[in-house]
Amino acid sequence: MTGTQIGDVASSLTTSRLDFSSPFYLHPSENAGSSLLPGVFDGTGYRSWRRAVLRALSVKSKTGFINGAIVRPVPTDPNFLQWERCDDMVTSWILNSLSPELCDSLQYVNNAKELWAE
């Protein structure tokens, strides 16, 4: 390899580093079947459930998806697919923290912010 090729490889490795603090970062162990909380919300204890969900999303740097701080980019934006993937994940986590009855009535929301507002 020439010096230029080595520099190009090093440069591409540097620019492709993961930013663990990014709201778009998802740990490999996180999946749509995961739950944020050990129990589910069944209509009682809303304040405690809400606080626990906010805390869990904060730990994952995902509160911006429910409070509007991370705005949905236009579909042509290079970040759109990452935003959509993370928003779907947050939506799944919240739905998984609800009782089956509540989850059924909220299955067709468009995004995590809309789900949180409901």
pLDDT of 4 reads 52
Give the containing element (helix H, strand E) for 7: helix 3-15
Coil vs helix vs strand at 41: strand
Mean pLDDT of all residues in 53-60: 96
pLDDT of 21 reads 85
Structure-block tokens of residue 63: 């509160």
Closest to 114 measured CA to CA, from 56, 79, 68: 68
- pLDDT, tens digit, 9 for 90 and up, residues 6-53: 545 444 444 557 788 899 999 999 999 988 999 899 999 999 999 999
Q: How many CA atoms lie within 13 A of 104 on its CB side?
A: 4
Mean pLDDT of the chain, nearest integer: 88
User: Across-strand partners of 71?
Assistant: none
Mean pLDDT of all residues in 51-65: 96
Structure-block tokens of residue 10: 């090093």
114 or 15: which leads in pLDDT: 114
Local structure of residue 72 (DSSP, 8 states):
P
Single-letter amino acid, residue 115? L
82 or 8: which leads in pLDDT: 82
pLDDT at 66 over 80: yes
Which phi-psi region, left, alpha or beta, contains residue 91 (left: φ > 0; alpha: ψ -120 to 50)? alpha
